[in-house]
Structure 1
Amino acid sequence: MKHFFTILGGMGTIATESYVRLINHRVKISKDQDYLNYILVNDAQIPDRTAYIKDHTKENFFFALKDDVEKQSLLKPDFFVMPCNTAHYFYHDLAALTDIPFLNMMDIAVHHFMEKFPKEEKIGLIATEGSIFDKLYENSIVKNGKKVELGGNEIQPLVNELIYSDIKENGYVDGELYHRILRKMHDDYGCNVILLGCTELSLAQEKAPNHPYNVIDPQSILADVTIELALKIRNGMDVDRAVSKYLYQD
């Protein structure tokens, strides 16, 4: 297979399915051969990311991802994508394992926010407890001169319910709960833009998009970037030149 990319998925599987569905449905097609070439590594056995980030006595999820990156690198994909925000805790360690370009979904999302909403002074962040705890999104946003709003103590339990109880455990998106979280972040905490820092939240956005709030959806943005790069490379652009736009150094 020529000109393919590798998706490091399974974190969780339903969220990865959402990412794959986005790239399959957004690419313009008139025949089978118009779809993108990719290998999906749906490694559902990767240990819980938040558990390890908050407590290093728990099983380290790095080694499962390390194995996936090293094995896939032997196949020489054009680039890697990893549609899981929390797993980016080890992004730099994973990217260092390979000479294959490795897109950083978090960096891409923050730069998208900066470009689309340059006048907004802050952004609301809802995510797993692991992503909140490691402050990767927060640090990146603050470094770019913006403020982060996490909301009050009532927000995280609602987010956890949507991510874990509904989606991860039961495969169900509670659209009303998702909208209630967005409404509280907007009305109670003054967030005109809200970043969805978990791919389960991206799935909620895919399934329940009928709300009036501005969201930054990293998985959706990554899907668009993936299509853009894959088509440029298929049409003859050098891989390094194609991906350089999205390999931020700041």
Structure 2
Amino acid sequence: MKNFFSIIGGMGTEATESYIHVLNKRTPAHSDQDYLNYILVNHATIPDRTDYILDNSKPNPLVPLMDDIKQQSSLKPNFFVIPCNTAHYFYSKLQSITDIPILHMPKEAVKEIGLVYPKAKKVGLIATRGTIYDGIYDNEISNFNYELVKPTKHIEDETMDLIYKYIKEKNIVNAELYHHILDEMINEMKCDVVILGCTELSLAQERASDHNYPLVDAQSVLVDRTIDMALHNKQK
């Protein structure tokens, strides 16, 4: 197969499925042959990224992630996509072992703010506790001179419940809780825009949102960048 990309997924599987669904839905296709060539590695047994970031004695996700990158690199994809925000904690190490570019989801999400919300100054972030603590969005937001607004401990706990207790454990989106979290970030924390910095939150947005919140969905942005890059390579 020529002109394809590789997706390192399974973190979690439902979130990866959401990425694939949106990717295929947005691809400008009128026949089977118009869709994009890709390989999906749904590596569901990769250890939890947040667990490791908060406690380095836990199993290290970097080891299987590196194995996946090395394995897929031998097949020579045009680029890699990792639809998991927290996994970008390991981005530099993963990019260092391959010459094939890896799309950087947090960086692309922050770039999108200026395009969609040019007047935004206060940028909120909701994500896993690992993403909040490891700061993978902090430098990107600072580089664009935005004021980063992180969730309070209360909002952080609610977000972890939404991600882990509902979506990861039960494959259920608690729409009321999701909307409540966004209301808190926008109305109480006074954010001009909120980044959905976890693919489970992107799944919640896909299934539950019927409100016009000022959001930048990192996974949605990643889908658009994936299509742009794949179509560019397809035309070569």
Name the TM tier (shorter chain): over 0.9
Match of 2:150 in 1: 150
| Offset at residue 116 of structure 1 (A) | 2.5
Please identify, of 27-36 and 159-168, the stretch whose mean Cα deviation from structure 2 is larger. Answer: 27-36
Q: Secondary structure at the match of 1:148?
A: strand
8 Å Cα contact 1:192-1:213 kept in structure 2? no
Gaps of at least 5 residues in structure 2 are none
Aligned partners of 2:103, 2:153: CA distance in 1, in Å?
Answer: 33
Aligned partners of 1:48, 1:143: CA distance in 2, in Å?
Answer: 28
Aligned partners of 1:123, 1:137: CA distance in 2, in Å?
Answer: 11
Gaps of at least 5 residues in structure 1 are 237-250
| Offset at residue 143 of structure 1 (A) | 2.6
Question: Taking structure 2 as the reference length, what is the TM-score of the superposition?
Answer: 0.97
8 Å Cα contact 2:113-2:120 kept in structure 1? no
| Offset at residue 139 of structure 1 (A) | 2.3
Letter of the 1:205 counterpart: Q
Q: Secondary structure at the match of 1:195?
A: strand
Match of 1:78 in 2: 78
Match of 1:234 in 2: 234
Question: Taking structure 1 as the reference length, what is the TM-score of the superposition?
Answer: 0.92
What is the RMSD computed on CA atoms of the aligned residues? 1.0
Q: Tell me if 1:188 matches 2:192.
A: no
Please identify, of 149-158 and 69-78, the stretch whose mean Cα deviation from structure 2 is larger. Answer: 149-158
Letter of the 2:41 counterpart: V
8 Å Cα contact 1:7-1:83 kept in structure 2? yes
Match of 2:99 in 1: 99
| Offset at residue 117 of structure 1 (A) | 2.1
* 4+ runs deviating over 3 angstroms: none
| Offset at residue 144 of structure 1 (A) | 1.9
Q: Secondary structure at the match of 1:136?
A: coil
Please identify, of 144-153 and 121-130, the stretch whose mean Cα deviation from structure 2 is larger. Answer: 144-153
**Alignment of structure 1 residues 199-218 onto 2, 5 Å:** 199-218=199-218
| Offset at residue 83 of structure 1 (A) | 0.4
Aligned partners of 2:120, 2:174: CA distance in 1, in Å?
Answer: 29
Aligned length: 236
Share of identical aligned residues, percent?
52
| Offset at residue 39 of structure 1 (A) | 0.1
Match of 1:26 in 2: 26
